[in-house]
């Protein structure tokens, strides 16, 4: 059934994101508590993200990704058209001063 495939794909994506965050955190030499402190989120949130919890808040995820210097890349066959209609998007990448 198509609906079940979408749920399976979503669950797999969540698990991949969690594993990537855990990998980057460890490579950075951070504990979950350290990452939580730097991100301004609770330790339980870091734990939940790393374990693939599906109900994490978007702002929490974005804070964690930012601290670890991980960017999300949205891909879609309609992305070029979307960007034409919305104009240039602000970048989170900050050039060194």
Give the CATH number, domain containing residue 34.
Answer: 1.10.260.40
Residues 83-94 have pLDDT tens digits of 888 876 666 554
Output 93 or 30, whichever has higher pLDDT.
30
Please indicate, yes or no, if residue 92 is contained in any of the structural domains: no
What is the end-to-end Cα distance of the chain in Å, rounded?
52
Please indicate, yes or no, if residue 32 is contained in any of the structural domains: yes
**What is the pTM (predicted TM-score) of this model?**
0.77
Give the residue among 52, 44, 45 at the shortest CA–CA distance from 20: 52
Output 39 or 73, whichever has higher pLDDT.
39
Range of the domain at 8: 2-86
The string over 43-53, giving b where at least 16 C-beta atoms fall within 10 Å of a residue's C-beta and e elsewhere, is eebbebbbebe
Please indicate, yes or no, if residue 46 is contained in any of the structural domains: yes
How many separate domains does the chain show? 1
Say if residue 6 is exposed, middle or buried (CB neighbours under 10 Å; 0-12, 13-18, 19+).
exposed
Please indicate, yes or no, if residue 91 is contained in any of the structural domains: no
Residues 34-49 have pLDDT tens digits of 999 999 999 999 999 9
Q: What was the pLDDT predicted at 97?
A: 38
Please indicate, yes or no, if residue 82 is contained in any of the structural domains: yes
């Amino acid at each position: 059934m198509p609906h079940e495939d979408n749920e399976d794909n979503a669950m797999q994506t969540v698990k991949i994101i969690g594993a990537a965050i855990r990998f980057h955190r460890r490579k950075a030499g951070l504990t979950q508590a350290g990452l939580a402190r730097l991100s301004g989120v609770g330790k339980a949130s870091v734990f939940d993200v790393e374990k693939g919890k599906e109900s994490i808040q978007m702002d929490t995820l974005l804070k964690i990704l930012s601290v670890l210097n991980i960017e999300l890349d949205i891909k879609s066959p309609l992305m070029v058209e979307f960007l034409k209609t919305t104009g240039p998007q602000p970048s989170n990448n900050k050039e060194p001063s």
